[in-house]
Structure 1
Amino acid sequence: MASPILPGTGLGSGINTGDIVKALVNADKAAKQGQIDRGTATNTASISGIGSLKSLMAAFTKSMTDLGSKTSPQFPGFAATSSDVKIVTATASNSAVGGNYAINVTNLATSSKVTSKAFVGGTTSAITDGTMTIKQGAATFNLDIKPGATLQSVRDSINADASLKGAGISANIVTDSFGARLVLGSSTTGANSDISVTGIPELAINGANVVGTTASPMTAASAGSIGALAVDANFTVDGMALTSKSNTVDKAVSGLTFNLLAAGSSTVTVATNTDGLKASIQKFVDAYNAIANSVTALTKPSLDANGKPTVSAALTGDALPRSILSAIRGPLSETGAGDKLTVLAQLGITTNQKTGALDFDSTKFSAAMNDKKLGGEVQELFTGSNGLLERMSKAVEPFTETGGILDQRTTSLNKTKTKLASDQDALDRRIETLTAVLTKKYNDMDTLVGKLKATASNITSMFEAMTAQQKNS
């Protein structure tokens, strides 16, 4: 705040007018400045507290999402382990049955990869315009090749076509000793998935024709499937011969999905997922306790040696943290949709009455797994339809969603912050004006007193001079 330079001791009056003006200004300013300072401190603490709440809620929401993942389930009732994970891996659903399964993989399912003839002109070789027809199994795709097309532009057109992309078909250009070739590949595996191309004479590919083998070595004119046709996977389960168009097999054994990775033998063992479930439940308990304890800390003031509050926390007295805690605690007491497993207490998870956090009793959990055989229902309790994790996510959504309660509170606090800054600017301007007015008044007063003192001094000197003359006469 700019202000005029105050004089010190008045030259005319001998009074410290600067201190007088300062005291008067401070007295006028004190009440409003105190109000602004208190409001600013409270507002700043609240903004910091709400920011912390946002971070806590984001971390909690991510934890619930990760634990509820459908692609990487965290609460399977059974675990499937492979004796050789280079040959096969397996995952078990809640309908799996414990036991051992001997897997022997003869060959993996393969996909189609075909090549056109070679073009000595390279990627810029001219291609006849027309309709290119690409066939794979029962699927047919037509692609319009426009005049002026080159081998490279045809490749780009294939890769840009949405229907081909959706079918997993892509193209590239490979240059060998004979020239540049258009090579098409597919993510679809299994017999009869070979690709054929017709419609453009120089790009015609018969997918049933195998090239690049000892029996049919590659030449400039070679066009067809490279090396071999696409085939089904061949494997056995406990000696029973099976085939699959995909290397992911989910119908061979009830409740199990095999991922075939290489030819060879492995044994898959299925057992209750006690350790995995315990670890996932502990993650849930840790995530819940992290937000419950942190939210509580944002409202709990510091205490002195006598247990009396000293320094307020960021959100002491704010109802919002209590609303959040109430929201996340609600789903804990709701009954799940399981058969034998319906509440968390059956797994040894209870609420600590003193702290509000969750306690996890591993002894009770082990009994639930080993004695009561509840392992198959844990996944349903946590991640089933309207499971605990889903209910938790819904409970916090009003707070975390864009434009939700936390965003609204942040907006409101920022408006208050702006108003407080405006109030401070207005007060500073008023104080600056008041300081200038009072300074002028006291300076004027000092000047007047100085003149009066000078006049008095002159009069005194005159009388003294007259007196001296009388004495000398």
Structure 2
Amino acid sequence: MAGTSVSGIGSNIDTQKIVQSLVDSERAPKQTQINNQTLKATTSLSSIGKIQAALDAFRGAMDNMKTTSSFSGLSGSSSDEKVASVTIGAGAAAGNFSLLVTQLATASKISTKVFSDGASSVVNSGSVPSTLSIKQGSNTFDVSVPVGATLQQVRDSINSQYANQGLSANILTDANGSRMVLTSSTTGVGSELTLAGNTGLQTGTSILATPQNAKYTVDGVVMESKNNTIADAVSGITVKLTGVSPTPSGGGAATPATISVSADTTALKSALKGFVDTYNALIKAASAETQVTTNADGSLTAGALTGDASLRSLMSSVRTELNAMGGTGQMKSLTQFGVQTDQKTGLLSINDKVFSAAALTNGADINGIFSGDSGLLSRMKSATDTFAQKTTGVFAARSASLSDSLADLKKQQDALDARMTSLQTSLSAKYTAMDSLVAKLRAQSDSIMTTLNALNNPKDS
């Protein structure tokens, strides 16, 4: 701490050390309190942040498992991945389907007229800005073309503004010059691109590709789609068309692909293991912040959240849902599928033998346990809602309170520093005055003694 130096020249006393000792003694109780409270608040805030991150990851995994229908116990495959790929969703059922693709959905592609000066050709040679309007169905994408803008600059403007809306522009150049080609990612009939406006780019356009629908048959039923990803042709199955069905080299009818949906215990166990791993990650995160450590001297150090009521409540809510019965099948609990809880750590594991036997006869029951509005995934998510809300959740409120406490402790520290600076200045002034007084008294004493010595020792006559 900065302060006035006191040398003690007059008194031969180290008054600076005395002042520092008095200041340190005055500071110590409050400083210790601030340090302890700051350390506790900082450690708790860090631990709560880790729990929040683990809880967010846990809830995100629950949502992902619901979306991907991980526990359906089904897997989909295509006999010809060059024609179609398959993704299983909610509501899928086992079965085989014949798929014949005769046409893929395509997008619109148009070209401007050729500009003989290449990509640097000036598009707007007038004295005022112009506008290029790109139309697609009911949508219009306007591009401002400033005075002196080149073909390259117009192309860059289109890509920077509308690339995320499915439009792209490129420039093709040959011996005759350059032309701008516009392509859309929107497929299907009715998605044609046209140009309008007053730039001159709208005149002389050429159609390079006309958009068309995908055409295919499922089990002989003729169907069409505006895009190549078909989510509603068969319940619970998303089919992505990747090519036209091949025809024999010698001619004849095209060969259909077979879409198969079948039971898959390997996929089911993988999904169950994914849940177990996700659950264990949350348990491990909580344990890390509540663990009591034994030190080398035998003393114990508690974790930042040891005994924390909020964390205990969270863990209790999650375990309650884990142990609850669910589903409409014969088997309604995870323990019946070999999911075991370690009584010491709380971590889950899968007994392979028990799982294999249960999945062989009642594999579909797992989906009932996990899925649906009253399934384990939804219940786990609901049970953690009050803890995980970003602004009003239990841990968010705790974090805000601890942040406020740290801010208040910072103010207390600043006030203490200011008070100690003032105290040191005051004490330094007092000891400086004392030292000056002692110096004067010593000077007077020396003068008096000199006079007395002179009187007691008269010179010989």
TM-score clears 0.5: yes
Q: Which residue of 1 aligns with 2:249?
A: none
- Picking from 289, 312, 318, the partner of 1:295 is 289
| Residue pair 2:105, 2:225 contacting (<8 A) in 1 also | yes
Q: Which residue of 1 aligns with 2:268?
A: 274
**Deviation (angstroms), 1:117:** 4.1
What stretches of structure 1 of length at least 5 have no aligned partner?
Answer: 206-220
Alignment of 1:84-123 (within 5 A): 85-99=81-95, 101=97, 103=99, 105-120=101-116, 123=121
Does residue 444 (structure 1) correspond to residue 423 (structure 2)? The answer is no
Q: Alignment partner of 1:380: what SS? A: coil
Q: Which residue of 2 aligns with 1:431?
A: 424
Whole-angstrom CA distance in 1 between matches of 2:169 and 2:52? 45
Q: Alignment partner of 1:118: what SS? A: coil
Q: Which moved more, 1:244-253 or 1:364-373?
A: 364-373
Q: Which residue of 2 aligns with 1:190?
A: 188
Whole-angstrom CA distance in 1 between matches of 2:148 and 2:5? 83
Q: Which residue of 1 aligns with 2:362?
A: 372
Q: Alignment partner of 2:239: what SS? A: strand
Deviation string, structure 1 residues 85-106 (Cα, Å, up to 9, x no partner): 5543211124222355565545
Alignment of 1:145-184 (within 5 A): 152=151, 168=166, 173-184=171-182
RMSD over aligned CA atoms reads 4.8
**Deviation (angstroms), 1:412:** 2.2
Deviation string, structure 1 residues 281-332 (Cα, Å, up to 9, x no partner): 13322331233123314xx4654554x43x565566xx7x431342354244
One-letter amino acid of the counterpart of residue 76, structure 2: A
| Residue pair 1:189, 1:231 contacting (<8 A) in 2 also | yes
Q: Alignment partner of 2:381: what SS? A: helix
**Deviation (angstroms), 1:423:** 0.7
Whole-angstrom CA distance in 2 between matches of 1:391 and 1:315? 20
**Deviation (angstroms), 1:351:** 6.0
Q: Which residue of 2 aligns with 1:214?
A: none
Q: Alignment partner of 1:97: what SS? A: coil
**Deviation (angstroms), 1:337:** 7.3
Alignment of 1:267-346 (within 5 A): 268-270=259-261, 271-272=263-264, 273-297=267-291, 300=292, 302-303=294-295, 306=298, 308-309=299-300, 311=301, 313-314=303-304, 321-334=308-321, 338-340=327-329
**Deviation (angstroms), 1:410:** 0.8
Whole-angstrom CA distance in 1 between matches of 2:371 and 2:279? 15
| Residue pair 1:349, 1:361 contacting (<8 A) in 2 also | yes
Whole-angstrom CA distance in 2 between matches of 1:200 and 1:178? 24
What stretches of structure 2 of length at least 5 have no aligned partner?
Answer: 247-255
Deviation string, structure 1 residues 55-75 (Cα, Å, up to 9, x no partner): 441343144225423896373
| Residue pair 1:324, 1:396 contacting (<8 A) in 2 also | no
Q: Alignment partner of 2:362: what SS? A: coil
One-letter amino acid of the counterpart of residue 122, structure 2: T
Aligned residue pairs total 434
One-letter amino acid of the counterpart of residue 327, structure 1: L
Deviation string, structure 1 residues 125-158 (Cα, Å, up to 9, x no partner): 469999979465xx57597999989895987897
**Deviation (angstroms), 1:172:** 5.1
One-letter amino acid of the counterpart of residue 93, structure 1: G
Q: Which residue of 2 aligns with 1:2?
A: 2
One-letter amino acid of the counterpart of residue 190, structure 1: G
Change (3 A) 1:423 1:382: farther
| Residue pair 1:332, 1:344 contacting (<8 A) in 2 also | no
Deviation string, structure 1 residues 372-428 (Cα, Å, up to 9, x no partner): 322323243798894423542442226787974312321221221221232133123
Deviation string, structure 1 residues 203-222 (Cα, Å, up to 9, x no partner): 679xxxxxxxxxxxxxxx7x
Q: Which residue of 2 aligns with 1:216?
A: none
Deviation string, structure 1 residues 433-458 (Cα, Å, up to 9, x no partner): 21341343255336525643663465
Change (3 A) 1:40 1:133: closer
Q: Which residue of 2 aligns with 1:405?
A: 398
Report the structure number with the largest CA radius of gyration: 1
Whole-angstrom CA distance in 1 between matches of 2:6 and 2:231? 89
| Residue pair 1:285, 1:360 contacting (<8 A) in 2 also | no
One-letter amino acid of the counterpart of residue 2, structure 1: A
| Residue pair 2:116, 2:178 contacting (<8 A) in 1 also | yes
| Residue pair 1:67, 1:74 contacting (<8 A) in 2 also | no
Q: Which residue of 2 aligns with 1:225?
A: 207
Q: Alignment partner of 1:109: what SS? A: coil
**Deviation (angstroms), 1:461:** 6.2
One-letter amino acid of the counterpart of residue 261, structure 1: T
Change (3 A) 1:450 1:197: closer
- Picking from 358, 361, 381, the partner of 1:389 is 381
Q: Alignment partner of 2:35: what SS? A: helix
TM-score by length of 2: 0.72
Does residue 50 (structure 1) correspond to residue 32 (structure 2)? The answer is no
**Deviation (angstroms), 1:3:** 4.1
Whole-angstrom CA distance in 2 between matches of 1:145 and 1:433? 72
Change (3 A) 1:46 1:343: farther
